[in-house]
Structure 1
Amino acid sequence: MSGHEKINYVEFPAADLAAVKKFYAQVFGWVFADYGPDYVAFANSGLDGGFYRAAKQSTTVQGAALVVLYSKDLAETERKIVAAGGRIIKPVFSFPGGRRFHFADPHGNELAVWSEQ
């Protein structure tokens, strides 16, 4: 159920929808529903959303919001990201409350993963 005036959905650009579907399913276990040739929705991610066909990427350098995922095992999640074709763009660093790293998906969208440890 959606909360009134709460964040409900997030969308990312992607030129190759098949590649991002494969990446996020392999690394994070997300599931997808296609809505025509230019849009795919995802679920099982903590916050539902989608990918729309576009050439641009979502990166913090360009002023985009940063979506941060949680992991119980930061090193294992990092390994899975790299094995699936993702790229680490900010190595693991500490911050008050934990550690995190930033990665780019196969399209170049920047996300981060954090853990308390």
Structure 2
Amino acid sequence: MATFIHIDIPTDDLDRSKKFYSELFGWTFKNPIPDTEFYLFATKDLQGNEGIRGGMGARGEPGQSVTNYIGVPSVNEYVKKIEQAGGKASTPMPVPGWGYLAMCEDTEGNAFGIWEDNPDAA
């Protein structure tokens, strides 16, 4: 079943945001791409099990908010399903070495992303 797998949190002050979430919730951060200001974070549920992962980087535009991503087996398949259900979806794009992504909007105007893991994406 498709489920939430990733959260992107835009920030105006990366150090302040990392400190806030780390101290408040115990999230850990790592920078997987040298020379960038983008960090991945890991969360745990109340029982200490691995939780949803996420990313944190500079806010791209005024008013940009948290974006949730849903893992799907095929981005192309789900783009069609989203459009048939009355939503909107961007053309899928590769994230080289990681997978495929499409940005979407539900029937109420809420933005979300869909993600397909695929290390062969180019």
Band of TM-score, shorter chain:
0.3 to 0.5
TM-score normalised according to structure 2 size: 0.44
- TM-score, normalisation: structure 1: 0.46
Larger radius of gyration: 2
